């Protein structure tokens, strides 16, 4: 479990850096929007990923593990919502397409990382 969480987070950070570099090459004015979009998914994901690793490190009970997963996922979405509320109430002229594209990229990579990990493991 720990390796899968770490692998997912590393993949998300790499995609975030690639997205920021691409956004910066395309138009430097949208880099802050790209950064906030990526961070809106990365910060809560990292925080709750680390908490999940700590909570389940010595616990092998599936029902309790699932309870942790649900609680942390709900907390992650609440934290993301708070980041978006703070961003959009700040008065900064965000580029919403770039901001949400970064957010969606990171979110989708988190959902697809287990599938990619299984594909790598099956090739071994």
Report the alpha-carbon distance of residue 80 to residue 1 in Å, rounded: 23
Residues 48/51/52/56 CA torsion (nearest 10 deg): -170
Triad 36, 85, 83: Cα angle to 5°: 40
Q: What is the pLDDT of residues 60-75, one digit of tens each?
A: 777 877 887 788 889 8
Domain limits for position 58: 2-123
Structural domains of the chain, count: 1
Residues shown for the chain = 124
Query: pLDDT tens digits for 31-69?
Result: 999 999 999 999 998 988 888 888 777 767 778 778 877
pTM: 0.80
């Amino acid at each position: 479990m720990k390796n899968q969480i770490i692998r997912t987070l590393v993949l998300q950070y790499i995609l975030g850096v690639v997205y920021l570099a691409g956004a910066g090459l395309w138009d430097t004015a949208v880099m802050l929007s790209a950064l906030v979009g990526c961070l809106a998914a990365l910060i809560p994901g990292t925080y709750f990923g680390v908490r999940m690793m700590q909570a389940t490190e010595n616990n092998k009970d599936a029902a309790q593990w699932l309870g942790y997963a649900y609680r942390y996922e709900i907390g992650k979405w609440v934290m993301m919502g708070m980041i978006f509320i703070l961003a959009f109430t700040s008065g900064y002229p965000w580029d919403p397409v770039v901001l949400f594209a970064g957010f969606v990229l990171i979110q989708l990579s988190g959902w697809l990382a287990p599938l990619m990990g299984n594909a790598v493991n099956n090739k071994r």
